[in-house]
Amino acid sequence: MPLSVIDLYRYPVKSCRGDQLAAAPVEPWGLAGDRRWMIVDLGGEVVTAREYPRLVLVTPVLEDGGLRLTGPDGPDLTVSIPPGDGLVPVSVWDAVLLATPAGAAADAWFSRITRERVRLVYLDDPTRRRPNPDYSRDGDRVSFADGYPLLLTTDSSLAALNEAIAVGPRAAEGPLPMRRFRPNVVVTGTAPWAEDGWRRLRVGDVTFRAVKGCDRCVLTTIDPDTAVTGKEPIATLARCRRWDGKVWFGINLIPDAPPAGRSIRVGDPVEVLEQDDDADGPLR
pLDDT tier at 259, thresholds 50, 70, 90: low
* Contact assessment for residue 16 and residue 60, using Cβ atoms and an 8 Å cutoff: yes
As a whole number, the mean pLDDT across the chain is 96
Predicted structure pTM score:
0.96
Nearest to 121 by CA among 136, 107, 134: 107
pLDDT tier at 44, thresholds 50, 70, 90: very high
Q: Are strands 185-188 and 150-154 parallel, antiparallel or unpaired?
A: parallel
CATH 2.40.33.20 spans which residues of the chain?
4-30+132-275
The Cβ of residue 64 has, within 10 Å, a number of other Cβ atoms equal to 5
Q: Are strands 95-101 and 88-92 parallel, antiparallel or unpaired?
A: antiparallel
Instruction: Tell how far CA 107 is from the center of its chain.
Output: 23
SS3 221: helix
What phi, psi does 180 have (nearest 5°)?
-55, -30
* Contact assessment for residue 144 and residue 38, using Cβ atoms and an 8 Å cutoff: yes
How many C-alpha atoms does 180 have within 13 Å on its Cβ side?
25
pLDDT (0 to 100) of residue 261: 80
Question: For 94-142, what is each residue's pLDDT tens digit?
Answer: 999 999 999 999 999 999 999 999 999 999 999 999 999 999 999 999 9
Q: How far apart are CA 37 and CA 31, in angstroms?
A: 13
DSSP E strand boundaries for 75-182: 77-80, 88-92, 95-101, 118-122, 150-154
pLDDT (0 to 100) of residue 192: 98
Q: How far apart are CA 153 and CA 193, in angstroms?
A: 9
**Does the pLDDT of residue 41 top 80, yes or no?**
yes
Domain 4-30+132-275, CATH class in plain words: mainly beta
DSSP E strand boundaries for the chain: 4-10, 19-21, 23-27, 30-31, 37-41, 46-47, 59-63, 66-70, 77-80, 88-92, 95-101, 118-122, 150-154, 185-188, 198-203, 206-215, 242-243, 246-255, 263-265, 270-275
* Contact assessment for residue 161 and residue 195, using Cβ atoms and an 8 Å cutoff: no
Q: What percent of the chain has pLDDT over 70?
A: 99
Question: For 194-210, what is each residue's pLDDT tens digit?
Answer: 999 999 999 999 999 99
pLDDT (0 to 100) of residue 267: 98
